[in-house]
Chains A and B, each alone.
Chain A
């Protein structure tokens, strides 16, 4: 038989039956939100990564102390990657009898691939944003070079043997990178002029940065290719490696958005399960007739699944379209906060919504639908013969499988998925236990109360399973919405407290010892609250317990990056503010030659307490014993160090000082004062990075608020679905009661009480589950302390009860008003 055509016909004729409409709505909401998130986060991620790519001036950077062989570049070319190269080295500039160590950066055409440079002429107010470096024969410089060497723009200067015209002042360079503490003033020139300087000879200390942009897949293949070719002195940098603070922020945003959509899907799934159950109950008779006419069980299953899949496909398709619109809406809503250009939407991301839709549908609708297969043809003669319901284990199991599958797809984090799934099952089991306990109590009460409330209690306990399912659905929905709301509230405020308004936004480096006291006084007289001044000695870790570090580290680890460059070593008598000792005891002075190591680096290099470390500083080596391991908050924008020595360990080496402080935007002039008075210092303005972080925060807030709308709609559909599922029964009961002489107010009071109890208990359970879930989420995943809020315990039952009661009364208004005869006849 042409099952498909028959399925189409039946589905079409089903018309606007309540269940299928609700089921479609639920599915549409789920798919719309999944598509929205998928498209939104896909585009946001692409955008953010490329924005963050500005910090690298490319999407992928290979650094090397020598030029790369031509085969690298030809591989990049075949992958259609855009490429450019910069070379960074130091050189002493000598003009007008003054000399200055400058950090030279030679850039080739196409630099920068990502982001842009900012330059000015003589005055700061003429700042210009451009996307190329200087022409050959020209040099762009930090303003500091002019004052230090008594030069003016338009004059010339020698870099080695090459004479260059000073044409512009650089105010911003996207990829001013890496080691914040070692920046000498910048001179930017074209790579074409480098050979004529005669500075770079074999063995010269120089860093080449090869920058690449292009298609994600191409970048991936190139990264793979490069990884194989890297020698120990070369390394690959991309956004996640090089800018951990932006990487984590991005990850959090992604995780949170996706988690929200799983929650919405869960709520919608509950609605789908309820409506499908009712739908399949309503079709027991059709199934019996078909069986009687000779349909096999397999044909019955096919017939109904085809209808479901057909409907699901259409609803999901609609959901995808709506998701497309809605994600565009989301971008439009956030326009002022988002970067000007957003990566274009990837249709594949929308397709993901479609797949999600079908998966949810099958996961939640299949178990109740399969009941139809078990309908006996005898039912046609004996109406009371209901098929054995699908085992609840299978029903919940499928739902759990789908949800955990989705969480995994979204997070790619097995541990997180398992934990969440486990917690969810625990939560549901706990809730079921509570609900049944509650119903037992109500049953005991029922016979003792008067008629005005008896029927309310009766309808609660009469069908324990139904009531339990309703309370479960309401509380899960409420809990999910609550979680969605409160996690968002807390995360935001958590981030805001992590980055207080006066978070240091400027670093000062290269301050000499004799300037230290003057500098401190200057800051105090300008009311600037600076962090402590830390001495810095540049050195490199070479041995751990007399073993060369190169042999110990694993490739591409944090440890590997740390040992391939000079680190800023400091010493301190006290443990710096914001550092926490995780093991060992803070060093006493004397003795010297004790060192405290940062925890993550210790893990990466497998360094334990009491290990002996060897450093080279200049041409000398020094030894120190690890006496503490420290935790450092890298987001704090304070000077942070991998290694802190005990006082006296490094005193014999030349040192400079570093500090950081907060400077309000309107006080930026103060920087000029500082630059004039201490010409050798470097001032680093990190407001930029902070702005980036707060931008992400604001974006997140807006996005979550938007998502909450979907959760709310899904929740209301659940409500409508549960009431719709019991509508027939209610109608019949109320008609009977009225024929027996009950008046409408009695019925109304009973309904009112029933919905109030449903609403109240659901809300109460919702808050309880929410607190448990939040605690777990905060404690294990976000690693933030969770403080339960008393307000929730008051507000949620109040709002939840009102909402459920109103919706309930509205949904059954017809039941009470309809004439009893017409209802009894319908039956």
Chain B
């Protein structure tokens, strides 16, 4: 299901002349403009920049959560810009994993059920075993039956990591994954993230304010007022 083996092209994400403009009450506002970006397979990229520089906007475009005002994005050779919403959803399910600053687990489901969710969406036959396996990997198999509200922030983010990796995606997007955690817990999460990344040979796109975290990545992209610095 993942394309690790057939890495015909080195480039897995390619963005050309990307820009995003939004309409506000005070006229149109340019958030991103003239972004050129190629991300190679297996690479880890840190996106940095001041608050409001457009980091979140950029990865939401790259992940197909939002549509650019102009420019093109290709993921794995498929042009995102011409896809329908449902096509993009399928693409996300197959190739992309997410980790968010505020975890984004479904509160009504247990840890295990949250991890199973992406597998169930594609109808994976052994969703439960696989999910348990990944929960075990993040060290939470004994808490499988607990709801997010019964878990600490760090534990929730570990569940989120398990959920992100359970489909063995080609690309993982992480938007300030440690932003809501204390330093020590943040460190555990980052170690886990990079370990899983290593094991699964995933391409990592990471937004962070943390310079030390950025140095763990193979490349850093600085954003300044919506442009690459």
In the assembled complex, the CB of A16 is this many whole angstroms from the nearest CB of chain B, namely 12
Q: Which residues of A contact B91 (CB under 8 A)?
A: 294
In contact, B66 and A378 (Cβ under 8 angstroms): yes
How far does the Cβ of A283 sit from chain B's closest Cβ, in whole Å? Answer: 10
Q: State A389–B147 Cα separation when bound (angstroms).
A: 31
User: Across the interface, which residues of A come within 8 angstroms of B65, CB to CB?
Assistant: 292, 376-378, 380-381
B199 within 8 A of A: no
B60 at the A interface (CB under 8 A): yes
Residue of chain B at shortest CB distance from A1: B120
Q: How far apart sit A377 and B61, CA to CA, in the bound complex (Å)? A: 11
Kindly state whether residue A293 has any CB partner on chain B within 8 Å.
Answer: yes
Of B71-79, B93-101, B134-142, B180-188, which binds chain A? B93-101
Instruction: Give the distance in Å from the alpha carbon of A2 to the alpha carbon of B108 in the complex.
Output: 17
> Does chain B have a CB within 8 A of A291?
yes
Chain A min CB distance to B63 (Å)? 8
Least CB distance from A386 to B in Å reads 15
Task: Tell which of B94, B109, B118 touches A9, judged by Cβ atoms closer than 8 Å.
Answer: B109
Q: Which residue of B lies closest to A5 (CB)?
A: B120
Residue on A nearest B87 in the bound complex, by CB:
A296
Kindly identify which residue among A285, A290, A292, A381 contacts B56, using a CB–CB cutoff of 8 Å. Answer: A381
In residues 111-156 of chain A, which contact B (Cβ within 8 Å)?
Answer: none
Q: How far is the CB of B144 from chain A (nearest CB, A)?
A: 14
Task: Say if the beta carbon of A241 comes within 8 Å of chain B.
Answer: no
Task: For the complex, give the distance between the alpha carbons of A381 and B109 in Å.
Answer: 21
Q: Check B108 against A1 for contact (C-beta < 8 Å).
A: no
Contacts of B101-149 to chain A: CB distance below 8 A: 104-106, 108-109, 113, 117-118, 120-123, 147
How far is A291 from B60 in the complex, measured between Cα atoms in Å?
A: 13
A514 to B111, CA, bound (A): 103
Nearest-neighbour CB distance to chain B for A730, whole angstroms, equals 22
Contact (A1, B86) CB under 8 Å given A294-B93, A381-B175: no
The verdict on B16 contacting chain A, using a C-beta distance below 8 Å, is no
CB contact under 8 A between A294 and B89, given known A9-B113, A378-B60: yes
> Main SS of chain B's interface residues?
helix
A289, A293, A298, A380: most-surrounded residue (chain B CB, <10 A): A293
Q: Within 8 Å CB of B93, what residues of A?
A: 293-295
* CB of B81 to closest CB in A, whole Å: 16
A297–B120 touching, CB < 8 Å = no
CB-CB < 8 A to A377: which residues of B? 65, 89, 92
Minimum CB–CB distance from A306 to chain B (whole Å) comes to 14
Q: Determine whether B210 belongs to the interface, using a CB cutoff of 8 Å to chain A.
A: no
Contacts A294-B89, A298-B86, A381-B100 given; indicate if A10 touches B121 (C-beta within 8 A).
no
A293 to B113 Cα, complex, angstroms: 13
| B108 surroundings in chain A (CB, below 8 A) | 9-10, 13-14, 286
- CB pair B60–A294 under 8 Å, yes or no, is no
Q: Is the CB of B121 within 8 A of A299?
A: yes
Within the complex, the shortest CB–CB distance from A101 to chain B, in Å, comes to: 87
Bound-state Cα–Cα, A291 to B122, Å: 13
Cβ of A289: which chain B residues have Cβ within 8 Å of it?
104-106
Task: Pick from B66, B86, B109, B121 the residue with the most CB of A within 10 Å.
Answer: B121
Contact of A381 with B60 in the complex, beta carbons under 8 Å: yes
Given contacts A1-B123, A10-B109, A381-B175, contact A296 B56 (CB under 8 A): no
Q: Is the CB of A13 within 8 A of B56?
A: no
B85 at the interface (CB under 8 A from A): yes
Inter-chain CA distance A290–B86, complex, in Å, is: 12
A10 contacts across to B, CB distance below 8 A: 106, 108-109
**Once the chains are docked, how many angstroms separate the CA of A289 from the CA of B163?**
12
| Minimum Cβ distance to chain B for residue A199 (Å) | 86
Residue A6 at the chain B interface, CB threshold 8 Å: yes
B219 interfacial by beta-carbon distance below 8 Å: no
Residue of B whose beta carbon sits closest to that of A285: B104
B89 and A296 within 8 A (CB): yes
B120 contacts which chain A residues (CB < 8 A)? 1-2, 6
A280–B151 alpha-carbon span in the complex (Å): 26
Question: What residues of chain B lie closer than 8 Å to A292, measured between beta carbons?
Answer: 65, 92, 98, 104
- The reply to whether B56 and A294 form a contact with Cβ atoms under 8 Å apart is no
- Total A-B residue pairs with C-beta atoms closer than 8 Å? 77
A297 proximity list for chain B (CB < 8 A): 85-86, 89
Give chain B residues whose Cβ lies under 8 Å from the Cβ of A290.
106, 117, 121
Interface residues of A in 341-381 (CB under 8 A from B): 376-378, 380-381
B100 to A380, Cβ gap below 8 A? yes
Chain B residues in 8 Å Cβ range of A293:
92-93, 98, 117-118, 121, 163
CA distance A291 to B88 in the complex (A): 10
Residues on A with beta carbons closer than 8 Å to the beta carbon of B94: 294
On whether A13 and B109 interact (CB within 8 A), knowing A6-B120, A294-B122, the answer reads yes
CB-CB under 8 A from A296, the residues of chain B are: 86, 89-90
Interface of chain A residues 579 through 626 with chain B (CB within 8 A) = none
Question: Which residues from chain B contact A381 at a C-beta distance below 8 Å?
Answer: 56, 60, 65, 100, 175
Q: Digit string of A5-27 for contact with B (CB within 8 Å is 1, else 0)? A: 01001100110000000000000
Q: Which of A2, A292, A297, A382 has the most CB of B within 10 A?
A: A292
Query: A6–B120 Cα gap in the complex (Å)?
Result: 9
Q: Which residues of B contact A380 (CB under 8 A)?
A: 65, 98, 100, 104
| Cα–Cα, bound, A289→B121 (Å) | 12
| B106 / chain A contacts, CB cutoff of 8 Å | 10, 286, 289-290
Interchain CB contact under 8 A, B113 and A295: no
Contact check, A295 vs B89: say whether CB atoms are below 8 A apart. yes
Within 8 A of B (CB), among A4-53: 6, 9-10, 13-14
Of all chain B residues, the one with the shortest Cβ separation from A374 is B85
Known A13-B108, A14-B108, A380-B65: A294·B113 in contact at CB below 8 Å: no
Chain B residues with Cβ under 8 A from A6's Cβ? 117, 120
Q: Nearest chain B CB to A376's CB is how many angstroms away? A: 8
A375 to chain B, nearest CB (A): 11
Bound CA span A6–B121, Å: 10
Chain B residue with Cβ nearest A293 = B118
Q: For residue B147, which residue of chain A has the nearest CB? A: A13
> A6 CA to B123 CA in the complex, in Å?
12
Across the interface, A1 reaches (CB within 8 A) one of B56, B66, B85, B122, namely: B122
Chain A residue numbers with a CB within 8 Å of B86 are 296-298
Q: Quick check: A294 and B85 within 8 Å, CB to CB?
A: no
B109 touches A294 (CB 8 A): no
Q: In the complex, which residues 3-43 of chain B have their Cβ closer than 8 Å to any Cβ of chain A?
A: none
Shortest C-beta distance, B135 to chain A (Å), equals 16
Q: A2-B120, A10-B106, A292-B104 are in contact. List 17 more A-B contacts (CB 8 A).
A: A6-B120, A9-B108, A9-B109, A10-B108, A13-B109, A13-B147, A289-B104, A290-B106, A291-B89, A293-B92, A293-B93, A294-B93, A297-B85, A297-B89, A378-B65, A378-B66, A380-B98
A contacts, CB < 8 Å to B: 1-2, 6, 9-10, 13-14, 285-286, 289-299, 376-378, 380-382
- Write 12 A-B pairs (CB below 8 A) sorted by A numbering: A1-B123, A13-B147, A286-B106, A286-B108, A292-B92, A293-B118, A293-B163, A299-B121, A377-B65, A377-B89, A378-B65, A380-B98
Q: Which 10 A-B pairs have the closest CB atoms?
A: A294-B93, A13-B108, A296-B86, A1-B120, A378-B65, A293-B118, A294-B92, A1-B121, A377-B65, A378-B66
